[in-house]
Amino acid sequence: MTNQLTGYVFHDYRKQKPPAAGWYVWRLPHTRFLEGVTLIFLAKYRLRGAGFEDVLSPSFDCWDGYRVQLPNGSVEWAEYGGEDPKPGKTLLDVVEADNLPCPFCKAKPTWKYHGRFIGAEPNDAEYFYLECCHWFDGFKSRMKDPVKLAAMRNEALSPQLT
């Protein structure tokens, strides 16, 4: 697993809500395409309109016309002590995938995604890809399954790293 989102203490959202609006680290299953894939990402907990009232809710919620819905499965959150992310710079990690470092810059690549619509959150992503230094820009293969993508990349890089 990449090191950008490790070491957090997660809380079950059903039992305890975040104390205030702001940026939090969220851990939850991918909601649409992938069974058994858990994502960790940074998302805003913000005040949003919900019918005749305003409620605090994560930015990956869904308004069904009656109430705010969260994805099925375990939704967990953790305090985030870093700087607010720049627009388009989502911190994302896939729990079940471990990426080998880049043979050029020696850093582990970062996860990126394409959503089904503009503004989609990672848990609703349709495709994932890995991004690294400019030497490795050619490896921007995108796949629906990030675990399979990481395994294929690691297999391709293994001979070069020995």
Q: Taking the domains of the chain in order of start, what are their residue ranges? A: 11-79, 92-161
Q: What is the mean pLDDT of residues 82-101?
A: 82
Confidence band for 135, pLDDT divided at 50, 70 and 90:
low
In tens, the pLDDT along 55-89 reads 999 999 988 888 888 887 789 999 998 888 876 66
Q: What is the mean pLDDT of residues 112-139?
A: 79
The pLDDT of residue 75: 94
The pLDDT of residue 3: 41
Whole-prediction pTM: 0.84
Q: Counting beta carbons within 10 angstroms of the beta carbon of residue 42, is it exposed (0 to 12), middle (13 to 18) or buried (19 or more)?
A: buried
The pLDDT of residue 1: 35
C-alpha to C-alpha distance for 65 and 109, rounded to whole angstroms: 39
The pLDDT of residue 139: 57
C-alpha to C-alpha distance for 95 and 104, rounded to whole angstroms: 24
Confidence band for 51, pLDDT divided at 50, 70 and 90:
confident
Q: What are phi and psi of 106, to 5 degrees?
A: 70, 5
C-alpha to C-alpha distance for 51 and 103, rounded to whole angstroms: 52
- 124 secondary structure, DSSP code: G
C-alpha to C-alpha distance for 58 and 69, rounded to whole angstroms: 10
Strand, coil or helix: 148: helix
- 143 secondary structure, DSSP code: B
Confidence band for 22, pLDDT divided at 50, 70 and 90:
very high
Strand, coil or helix: 15: coil
Are the C-beta atoms of 98 and 146 separated by less than 8 Å? no
C-alpha to C-alpha distance for 68 and 84, rounded to whole angstroms: 24
The pLDDT of residue 141: 78
Strand, coil or helix: 110: strand
Residue 112 carries which side chain, given as an amino acid letter? K
The pLDDT of residue 102: 86
The pLDDT of residue 35: 78
Average pLDDT value over all residues in the chain: 84
The region of weakest confidence among 42-46, 137-141, 149-153 is 137-141
